């Protein structure tokens, strides 16, 4: 009974925080599918990463807020409905996630596990021989609560994103990947430094203060 009571308190506290969260309210107002859109928006506004005409791969894309943001950036003058601009799209967005999401006009979506070789082949086929300008990854594994195990799962996903970026990014291309402070963080920073000329950690204001998440940005392949 104590466990259930604690769980209910935690769920109630989360719900209260969620309902009162200014980014949640803003997302609802602007038609984004989640508050996560503002994390990418902050990173983009600081580093000026997204420009019309680019080829972008969105990993861990569901429910689609990052693809929505990218879609708006690629069609800034088009009318916006449902959180994404409609009409002519000046750019390419290829999104992938284990979960399905509601289609976004002009976004090529692949459903599957990024760790699955067959799914990776599908993604590579969608990219074709086009050099990629930007890879954004909001991927995160289902956490077990066992720090060593979770750190290994996170590290594996990020390293796959780095490997994909090495093979498909333009020489001056960029990878933005979600990571978590704690066990394994230092190793991930080092992995980024081996792959990219410039590495910048960013903790967007839209990331909750109590969250261990941060984002590593790798700029320019070595």
Tokens of 200: 């910048």
DSSP state string for 129-194: TPPEEEEEE---PPP-S-HHHHHHHHHHHHHHHHHHHHHHEEEEEEEEEEEESSTTHHHHHHHHHH
Handedness of CA 48, 71, 138, 191 (dihedral sign): negative
- 64 marked among binding-site residues: yes
DSSP structure string for 28-81: HHHT-SSTTHHHHHHHHHHH----TT-EEEEES-TT-HHHHHHHHHHSTTSPEE
Is 66 assigned a ligand-binding role in the annotation? yes
Q: Distance of CA 91 to CAs 1, 59, 82, 212, Å?
A: 54, 17, 19, 33
12 catalytic? Reply is: no
Cα gap 181→169, rounded to integer Å: 26
- Does residue 14 have a known ligand-binding role? no
Does the annotation list 58 as a binding residue? no
Q: Which residue has the tokens 């093979």?
A: 167
Q: Which of 178, 194, 197, 205 is an active site residue?
A: 178
Q: Which residues fall in the annotated binding site? A: 64, 66, 97, 113, 138
Catalytic residues, by residue number, are 178
Q: Which residues fall in the annotated binding site for S-adenosyl-L-methionine? A: 64, 66, 97, 113, 138
């Amino acid at each position: 009974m104590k466990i259930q009571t604690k769980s209910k308190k935690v769920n109630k506290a989360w719900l209260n925080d969620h309902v009162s969260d200014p980014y949640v309210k803003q997302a609802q107002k602007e038609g984004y599918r989640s508050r996560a859109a503002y994390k990418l928006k902050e990173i983009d506004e600081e580093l000026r990463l997204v420009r019309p005409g680019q080829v972008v791969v969105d990993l861990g894309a569901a429910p689609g807020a990052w693809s929505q943001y990218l879609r708006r950036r690629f069609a800034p003058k088009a009318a916006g409905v449902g959180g994404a601009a409609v009409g002519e799209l000046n750019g390419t967005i290829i999104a992938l996630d284990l979960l399905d999401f509601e289609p976004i006009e002009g976004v090529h979506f692949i459903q599957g596990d990024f760790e699955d070789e067959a799914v990776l082949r599908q993604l590579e086929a969608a990219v074709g021989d086009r050099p990629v300008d930007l890879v954004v990854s909001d991927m995160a594994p289902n956490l077990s609560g066992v720090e060593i195990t979770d750190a290994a799962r996170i590290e594996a996903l990020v390293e796959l994103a780095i490997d994909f970026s090495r093979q498909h990014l333009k020489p001056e291309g960029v990878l933005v990947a979600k990571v978590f402070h704690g066990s394994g963080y230092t190793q991930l920073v080092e992995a980024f430094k081996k792959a990219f000329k410039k590495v910048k950690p960013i903790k967007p204001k839209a990331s909750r203060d109590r969250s261990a998440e941060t984002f590593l940005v790798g700029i320019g392949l070595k």
